[in-house]
Amino acid sequence: MGDLAMCLDEEASRHFLQEIVNILLAYMCKLFKRSTKVLDFHHPHQLKEGLEGFTLELSDQPENLEQLLVDCRDTLKYGVKTGHPRFFNQLSSGLDIIGLAGEWLTSTANTNMFTYEISPVFILMEEVVLRKMMDMLGWSNEEGDGIFCPGGTVSNLYSVLLARYHFFPEVKSRGMSAIPRLAMFTSSHSHYSIQKSAAVLGIGTENVLLVKCDERGKMIPGELESSIASAKDRGLYPFYVSATAGTTVYGAFDPLNDIADICERHGLWIASSVTWNPHKMMGVPLQCATLLVRKKVSLNFECNQLCAEYLFQPDKHYDTSYDTGDKTIQCGRHVDVFKLWLMWKAKGMEGFESQINKCLENAEYLFDKLKNRTDFLLVFESKPEHSNVCFWYLPHSLRNLPPGCERDKKLHAVAPKIKAKMMEEGLTMIGYQPLGNKVNFFRCVFSNSATQREDVDFLLDEIVRLGHDL
Amino acid sequence: MGDLAMCLDEEASRHFLQEIVNILLAYMCKLFKRSTKVLDFHHPHQLKEGLEGFTLELSDQPENLEQLLVDCRDTLKYGVKTGHPRFFNQLSSGLDIIGLAGEWLTSTANTNMFTYEISPVFILMEEVVLRKMMDMLGWSNEEGDGIFCPGGTVSNLYSVLLARYHFFPEVKSRGMSAIPRLAMFTSSHSHYSIQKSAAVLGIGTENVLLVKCDERGKMIPGELESSIASAKDRGLYPFYVSATAGTTVYGAFDPLNDIADICERHGLWIASSVTWNPHKMMGVPLQCATLLVRKKVSLNFECNQLCAEYLFQPDKHYDTSYDTGDKTIQCGRHVDVFKLWLMWKAKGMEGFESQINKCLENAEYLFDKLKNRTDFLLVFESKPEHSNVCFWYLPHSLRNLPPGCERDKKLHAVAPKIKAKMMEEGLTMIGYQPLGNKVNFFRCVFSNSATQREDVDFLLDEIVRLGHDL
């Protein structure tokens, strides 16, 4: 059978792929069952040493197809079931069957988004889907543009890149030394991608000014205003403000209108672009991230285009404005649109709405439960605005300690200890982190509409079981 | 059936996915047959208007599953069959069945490369595969590091980013205004990604100095030397040289050793990192691109890390050096390693070797054929070093014109005209472009090992058939 892997004939290919599909269907079947573990944890050195014949090492000799099928089963076995209804660890969870079908088709089509020439259908789908998203942002009557990016961090990087080009188009050819020292603003609760962008683009992380937030994690407009003023005093050129609709940890919404007013007053870039990741609350398989730009189309093109003649020949016989590859900072670009397009066809807006509402209901359900418990403590008392719920668990030994340094020190160690046990037992997963002056707390996020109230109950019971005696 | 799309039960999910798989298998079955067209061309406006009921527009109402299956069939029907043995348009072609199985599994696992916590197996596979690749580069006894990137252009961007950080670590926090004006060097035949990187990173495209090449498209070392000297004279700080092993159009190999000697003499960054895209000659499905760095591991980490606490908690219970997400300029990162790992298991080095040799043999076969034809003209006479073969076709009307301006002007229009007809008939696809003072010529590239000599013969016959009377 060994040779087949090198020159599979049609029948053998069919057979092999069907075998793989059977493995994948069996995996999904387990995923739907709550009795299945979320993960079967092993430390890196254990996995590297090889478990029950599963070896990661590559040899120069080919393996036979039977062994490959075993490898595939093992890969899934030792992985983490992010589609499990009790996986609360990340905001990209669940496994949407329609989206998955879309990914399988995408990989079979195996093409590239750089030109209409080789991706006519996907290029046009991108236009349709981005237009639909812009309509939802209320940009129906405006020119606009957008692009699918390899993750939201890259979308954010694009937004900074476009803003920089908008104010100083000469930067593209002459570089940063030809323009003033720039300053960017974002909230202290915002995603770290804004600082990454500053590091990559040569702006420098110290020129990203982190604006103070209120207790709920929302940017304080007055603080933004004074931050802009002090940047100007220091000789910096403020050009960009990032506001967040649903922060990473708290799920907080910055006061967008107030911030936009300040930006307008100071002539800064905001509400000019939006990063929107359908691989989060919309449940689209990874990756599916977009940047939408509220400007005339050419901006995006001019900022990045270099007109490579081997791809973007001007003398093609079709409308080459559809060769969108030159808009991007990539050359080849993975097709990320089809799964979203297919899901949209399957669900309509209604379907996405009810999925997302289900997640928000779960968050509220968890919040309400925690409010009435004495062994749990909410990080903030106000109702969740998004699917994030943040809380501490108080083990029995801490319950009678007064709030303060001593309790905090002990409390800080609780979440990591519970998480470690949780991963070793593998029945559920939730993330934790410190934030500002708050010691380690759990953050529960909901984005899998298969998650039910019983799963939320299970999570709390499990935390109590693992943490009660700490 | 409409409701099913929103809340598919297990049986319906299984059934739907199996139906999709049947469509994909039927598609592949057609792909293997040479009688199938490579594409069924339509102009953007035709596809947008909707063809035989295939509408790209999204409505707010859900579609039923039957209609989704029709949509999937139509998406494939109007797409370009990049896996067809007569698709010569791009260096990423073919459809490797093992790699495809790897992609299907990857999308079913639906996880993210940022932490070991949620991708234990894939994170370790990445280490194993990158180590294997470094061994092949001859770095067996050296420390090294690497990363899978969303395309080779991003890999190249990483290399510039790392080089800049290596010379000026303060750039990360203080930005480009704190460091000298930089200069980068690459050949005039190199890929446009080097200039894109300079634009993105704030170095500026005018500070990318394009070094002259010889007739064969190889960088001339003496020209590099004088280019470095003149940059210094102009007050620039040379720090980075990109050399190419297999240029985009000619498939030329720069004289790596000579260039490395010059870099060593001037203390510049070369041979310190390598961009290697397995989605090209190795036939791995899109996307699969890597950057390999010949430096101690921490370099890559330090340059990009920001230690976001919600992902990279230092108090985790496992070895967090495997949380490689903080190395990257992305946050979420698609799993691109598994398909390559599985192919490597299936083929071994032998398998990849024989696949690639097959492609190089096809290039030589084409070259030998063209050499003996009077209706074709090779762009250069020397044997191909890689899978690229570049040539003009001389229609009957041009065959008696002497070389020179007048013939060139007419010749420039030949390739686009043939390509337009070729796409409308859809039986094969090849790319063309001008380069330097050379008017439009065809570039044939081979990366699909299913391509046979009869396909090469077919390509030439087709060019003659479509172009003879121009």
pLDDT in tens, B49-81: 988 889 999 988 899 999 999 999 999 999 999
DSSP classification of residue A219: B
User: What is d(CA B158, CA B24) in angstroms, rounded to the nearest whole number?
Assistant: 36
Indicate the pLDDT class of residue B296, thresholds 50, 70 and 90. low
Indicate the pLDDT class of residue A143, thresholds 50, 70 and 90. confident
What amino acid is encoded at B121 in this protein?
V
Chain B: residue whose CA lies nearest to A206: B173
Closest in A107, A171, A192 to B103, CB measured:
A107
Say yes or no to pLDDT of A172 above 60.
yes
**A-chain residues near B112 (CB < 8 A):** 82, 90, 92, 286
String of b and e for B40-75 (b: at least 16 CB within 10 Å)?
A: ebbebeebbeeeeeebbebeeebbebebbbebbbbb
Locate A50 and state its tokens. 């090889």
Closest in A100, A118, A182 to B107, CB measured:
A100
Please, which residues have CB within 8 angstroms of residue A387's CB and are 6 or more apart in sequence?
Answer: A91, A251, A281, A359, A360, A362, A363, A445, A446, A447
Closest in A56, A120, A342 to B42, CB measured:
A120
From the CA of B169, how many Å to the nearest CA of chain A? 11
From the CA of A282, how many Å to the nearest CA of chain B? 12
Closest in A63, A89, A333 to B118, CB measured:
A89
Indicate the pLDDT class of residue A62, thresholds 50, 70 and 90. very high
Say yes or no to pLDDT of B230 above 70.
yes
- Summarize the confidence of residues B247-269 as an average pLDDT: 95
Inter-CA distances, A247 with A250, A254, A389, A445, B50, Å = 6, 8, 12, 12, 40
CB contact under 8 Å between A416 and B313, yes or no, is yes
**A-chain residues near B206 (CB < 8 A):** 173-175
**Chain mean pLDDT for chain A:** 94
Q: Smallest Cα–Cα separation from A288: which of A94, A20, A84, A85?
A: A94
CB contact under 8 Å between B60 and A348, yes or no, is yes
Say yes or no to pLDDT of B297 above 60.
no
CB contact under 8 Å between A65 and B346, yes or no, is yes
pTM exceeds 0.90, yes or no: yes
Say yes or no to pLDDT of B464 above 50.
yes
**A-chain residues near B68 (CB < 8 A):** 98, 101, 342, 345-346
**B149 or A11: which carries more pLDDT confidence?**
B149
From the CA of B171, how many Å to the nearest CA of chain A? 6
User: What is d(CA A200, CA B165) in angstroms, rounded to the nearest whole number?
Assistant: 10
β-bridge partners, B290: B148, B276
**B-chain residues near A125 (CB < 8 A):** 56
pLDDT of residue A131: 95
**A-chain residues near B23 (CB < 8 A):** 105
User: What is d(CA B416, CA B463) in angstroms, rounded to the nearest whole number?
Assistant: 11
pLDDT of residue B286: 94
DSSP classification of residue A7: S
Closest in B110, B117, B332 to A83, CB measured:
B110
- What is the distance of C-alpha B79 from the center of its chain? 19
pLDDT of residue B136: 93
Q: Scanning the structure block, which residue is given the tokens 């800064």? A: A268
From the CA of B373, how many Å to the nearest CA of chain A? 25
From the CA of B222, how many Å to the nearest CA of chain A? 26
Indicate the pLDDT class of residue B434, thresholds 50, 70 and 90. very high
Q: Smallest Cα–Cα separation from A236: which of A158, A201, A162, A184?
A: A184
**B-chain residues near A429 (CB < 8 A):** 118
pLDDT of residue A188: 97
Locate A79 and state its tokens. 């992985």
SS (H, E, C) chain B: CHHHHCCCCHHHHHHHHHHHHHHHHHHHHHHCCCCCCCECCCCHHHHHHCECCECCCCCCCCCCHHHHHHHHHHHHHCCECCCCCCEECCCCCCCCHHHHHHHHHHHHHCCCCCCCCCCHHHHHHHHHHHHHHHHHCCCCCCCCEEEEECCHHHHHHHHHHHHHHHHCCCHHHHCHHHCCCEEEEEECCCCCHHHHHHHHHCCCHHHEEEECECCCCCECHHHHHHHHHHHHHCCCEEEEEECCECCCCCCCECCHHHHHHHHHHHCCECCCEEEECCCCCCCCCCCCEEEEECCCCHHHHHHHCCCCCCCCCCCCCCCHHHCHHHHCCCCCCCCCHHHHHHHHHHHHHHHHHHHHHHHHHHHHHHHHHHHCCCCEEECCCCCCCCCCEEEEECCHHHCCCCCCHHHHHHHHHHHHHHHHHHHHHCCCEEEEEEECCEEEEEEECCCCCCCCHHHHHHHHHHHHHHHCCC
Task: For chains A and B, count residue pairs whose Cβ atoms are closer than 8 Å.
Answer: 493
**Chain mean pLDDT for chain B:** 94
Q: Smallest Cα–Cα separation from B353: which of B283, B454, B444, B451?
A: B283
**A-chain residues near B330 (CB < 8 A):** 150-151, 153-154
- Summarize the confidence of residues A345-367 as an average pLDDT: 96
Interface test with B, best of A121, A179, A441 (most B CBs within 10 A): A121
**Cα three-residue angle A348-A354-A358, rounded to 5 degrees:** 150
**B-chain residues near A351 (CB < 8 A):** 5-6, 62
For B350-369, the pLDDT digits (tens) are 999 999 999 999 999 999 99
Locate B191 and state its tokens. 């890929």
User: What is d(CA A332, CA A325) in angstroms, rounded to the nearest whole number?
Assistant: 8
Strand order of the β-sheet with B273-276 is B145-149, B289-293, B273-276
Cis preceding linkage at B355, omega within 30: no
Locate A114 and state its tokens. 């750089």
Cis preceding linkage at A61, omega within 30: no
pLDDT of residue A298: 59
Chain B: residue whose CA lies nearest to A450: B7
pLDDT of residue A52: 85
pLDDT of residue A275: 97
- Look at residue A28 and give its three-state secondary structure: helix
**B-chain residues near A419 (CB < 8 A):** 316-317
DSSP labels, A172-214: HHH-GGGSPPEEEEEETTS-THHHHHHHHHTS-GGGEEEE-B-
Locate B148 and state its tokens. 């899978």
Q: What would you measure as the largest C-alpha separation in chain B, in angstroms? A: 78
Assess: ipTM above 0.85. yes
User: What is d(CA A23, CA A162) in angstroms, rounded to the nearest whole number?
Assistant: 45
